[in-house]
């Protein structure tokens, strides 16, 4: 039973999980690699509101594993923007750049299970391989975000090339062998999807069947940093005792990967609540490069809280 497995205390953490059964714990987990925009405002406010509505707690987590793009200046601006929004900063604020030992020990567990392999292909090599393959008229499989599935070093490189890279200092990522990982899980993986705002917060969950195979061999440790989004997010949701992961719909499909990692690492299964996205005038999801929807530029142009909330439908 997933429920039984998921409530076990994770070995990677010393934090008690007794609160999981009782008090809901929500989190807003931005990455300070650009300025917060209207989509972040929606996410932060929905989390803070849900915590109040469900008599729980609300925490902030700084997802700064990318130490080249996340800067102290952007982090300072982010805190200013959250203060302007009126989002409470309850302690402790967890910073992922201070948690690398936790990710390393989780990675070691997965390595001990024989589920991790070094992957040497560069993005350009994958792109070239996929383009050449698709010239034959057969589409190469893509993950739910549209990225080509990792083809495997031995499909693209010769044995000698792999040897040469392994013996030199060629950078490599660590990937999860998804087929082997799923082979270790002898029950259908699911998650419980609840509503993200308003009365839907209180409605019963829908059981969603996870489809992790569609992601292929996801990255667990990047070439430039010894972890990845997928690995850190499951470790930290467990370390912070998060019971309710309320985040954008753009991460809905990634939940399948998170459920696999939670299962393999014996971490608790949170409730999931994916919220609507705020789209730009072009109908696309907002990104940090859309300067005109950044909270800072709205604040400077005199947008009030009332106007801001109206724009995000709150």
Q: Which residues here bind ligand GLU, judged by CB under 6 A?
A: 29-31, 63, 233, 247, 251
Is 145 or 307 the residue whose CB approaches ligand GLU more closely?
145
We find the least distance from the C-beta atom of residue 265 to ligand GLU, in angstroms, to be: 16
We find the least distance from the C-beta atom of residue 158 to ligand GLU, in angstroms, to be: 38
Rounded to 5 degrees, φ, ψ at 250 are -65, -15
Going by C-alpha positions, the residue among 248, 221, 271, 186 that lies closest to residue 110 is 221
We find the least distance from the C-beta atom of residue 275 to ligand GLU, in angstroms, to be: 10
Q: Tell me the sheet residues that pair with 148.
A: 142
Is 27 or 175 the residue whose CB approaches ligand GLU more closely?
27
E-assigned strands of 210-287?
A: 219-221, 244-248, 271-275
Contacts of 121 (CB under 8 A, 6+ apart): 129, 150, 151, 153, 156, 157
Gap between the Cα atoms of 312 and 310, Å rounded: 5
We find the least distance from the C-beta atom of residue 274 to ligand GLU, in angstroms, to be: 10
* Inter-axis angle of helices 72-85 and 38-53, nearest 10: 50
Is 31 or 262 the residue whose CB approaches ligand GLU more closely?
31
We find the least distance from the C-beta atom of residue 113 to ligand GLU, in angstroms, to be: 24
Instruction: Evaluate whether 42 touches 250 at the Cβ level (below 8 Å).
Output: no
* Inter-axis angle of helices 255-264 and 229-239, nearest 10: 60
E-assigned strands of the chain?
A: 25-28, 57-62, 94-95, 116-119, 173-176, 190-193, 206-209, 219-221, 244-248, 271-275
Give the residue at shortest CB distance from ligand GLU. Answer: 247
We find the least distance from the C-beta atom of residue 164 to ligand GLU, in angstroms, to be: 36
Is 106 or 157 the residue whose CB approaches ligand GLU more closely?
106
Is 221 or 235 the residue whose CB approaches ligand GLU more closely?
235
Is 13 or 31 the residue whose CB approaches ligand GLU more closely?
31
């Amino acid at each position: 039973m997933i429920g039984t497995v998921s409530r076990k205390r994770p070995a990677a953490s010393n934090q008690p999980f007794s609160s999981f059964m009782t008090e809901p714990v929500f989190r807003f987990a931005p990455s300070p690699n650009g300025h917060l925009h209207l989509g972040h405002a929606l996410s932060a406010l929905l989390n803070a509101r849900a915590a109040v509505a469900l008599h729980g707690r609300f925490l902030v987590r700084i997802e700064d594993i990318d130490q080249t793009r996340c800067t102290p200046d952007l982090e300072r601006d982010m805190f200013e923007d959250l203060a302007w929004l009126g989002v409470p900063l309850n302690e402790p604020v967890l910073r992922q750049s201070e948690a690398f030992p936790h990710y390393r020990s989780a990675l070691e567990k997965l390595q001990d299970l024989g589920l991790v392999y070094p992957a040497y292909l560069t993005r350009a090599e994958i792109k070239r391989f996929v383009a050449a393959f698709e010239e034959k008229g057969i589409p190469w499989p893509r993950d739910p975000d549209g990225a080509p599935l990792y083809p495997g070093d031995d499909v693209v490189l010769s044995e000698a090339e792999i040897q040469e890279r392994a013996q030199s200092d060629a950078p490599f990522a660590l990937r999860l062998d998804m087929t082997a990982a799923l082979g270790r899980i002898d029950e259908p993986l699911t998650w419980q999807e609840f509503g993200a705002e308003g009365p839907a917060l209180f409605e019963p969950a829908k059981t969603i069947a996870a489809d992790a195979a569609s992601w292929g061999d996801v990255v667990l440790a990047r070439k430039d940093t010894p972890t990845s989004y997928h690995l850190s997010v499951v470790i930290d949701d467990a370390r912070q005792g998060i019971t309710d992961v309320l985040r954008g719909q753009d991460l809905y499909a990634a939940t399948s990967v998170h459920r696999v990692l939670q299962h393999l690492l014996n971490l608790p299964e949170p409730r999931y609540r994916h919220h609507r996205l705020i789209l730009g005038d072009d109908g696309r999801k907002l990104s940090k490069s859309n300067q005109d929807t950044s909270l800072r530029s709205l604040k400077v142009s005199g947008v009030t809280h009332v106007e801001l909330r109206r724009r995000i439908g709150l």
